[in-house]
């Protein structure tokens, strides 16, 4: 059975991940190390604009950066976007 894709292109790119996609794909996002896998799952059900895809990729890159930081006592990693 083929499902119709939901067109989310009218949604603000800054809201696409936290408000729409993360609640559905949290497990795939948090416990997977393959962005292409996550993107293909999103692409199966949703139509996104290039700007929205960029926002999803930035979230992924931030997660990967955060996970690559060493854990130090009393020292929080610096956010690279600040």
**Dihedral pair phi/psi, residue 15, rounded to 5°:** -105, -15
Indicate the length of the chain as a whole number. 82
Per-residue pLDDT reduced to its tens digit, 51-68: 999 999 999 999 999 988
The pTM score is 0.79
Q: Which residues contact 71 (CB under 8 A, 6 or more apart)?
A: none
CA 54 – CA 42 distance, rounded (Å): 13
The domain locations on the chain are 7-68
With 0-12 / 13-18 / 19 or more C-beta atoms within 10 angstroms meaning exposed / middle / buried, residue 42 is: buried
pLDDT tens across 3-19, in order?
799 999 999 999 999 99
């Amino acid at each position: 059975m083929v499902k119709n894709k939901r067109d989310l292109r009218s949604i603000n790119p800054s809201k696409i991940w936290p408000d729409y996609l993360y609640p559905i794909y949290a497990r795939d996002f948090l416990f997977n190390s393959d962005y292409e896998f996550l993107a293909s799952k999103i692409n199966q059900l949703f139509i996104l604009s290039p700007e929205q895809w960029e926002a999803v990729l930035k979230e992924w890159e931030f997660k990967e950066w955060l996970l690559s930081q060493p854990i130090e006592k009393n020292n929080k990693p610096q956010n690279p976007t600040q």
